[in-house]
Amino acid sequence: MLKAPQPGSIDIDNLDIYYEDCVIGGRGAFVIPIREREQFKEATRTKLVLEIADNDFRPKVTPASAAAPRVSCTIGERLWQQRWGNGLDFN
């Protein structure tokens, strides 16, 4: 989130949205995006405090999203393929 993806790289634009839609999951999962280095320390502290403070260990039902992800969840694999081409097809 600190730099814009460069052409020819495998950087993912809108990494926070990718993580929200394709990576994180489970009860209380959340992302704190940062756009400047100075925000990293506070975002890390906030995330740890919020995760530790959520001590309700009872199972909760989390509804599944019926909407399509805002980004392709195979974007990393496709960027890897475009960059290094290894014969795999992730389309």
Q: CB neighbours (10 Å) of residue 18?
A: 20
Task: Report if residue 4 sits inside a domain.
Answer: no
Residues sharing a CB contact under 8 Å with residue 65, sequence separation 6 or more, in sequence order: none
User: Is 34 within the bounds of a domain?
Assistant: yes
Question: Domain range for residue 27?
Answer: 15-84
Residue 43 located in a structural domain: yes
- Residue 5, domain member (yes or no): no
- CA distance linking residue 7 with residue 82, whole number of Å: 11
pLDDT category of residue 45 using cuts at 50, 70 and 90: very high
Backbone region of residue 32 per phi and psi (left: phi > 0; alpha: psi in -120 to 50; beta: other values): beta
Q: Above 60 in pLDDT, residue 47?
A: yes
24 lies in some domain: yes
Please report where in the chains the tokens 């009860």 appear, as a residue.
Answer: 27
In total, how many domains does the chain have?
Answer: 1
At residue 46 the predicted structure's pLDDT band, cuts being 50, 70 and 90, is: very high
61 has a pLDDT exceeding 70: no
> Distance between CA atoms of 72 and 81, rounded to whole angstroms?
14
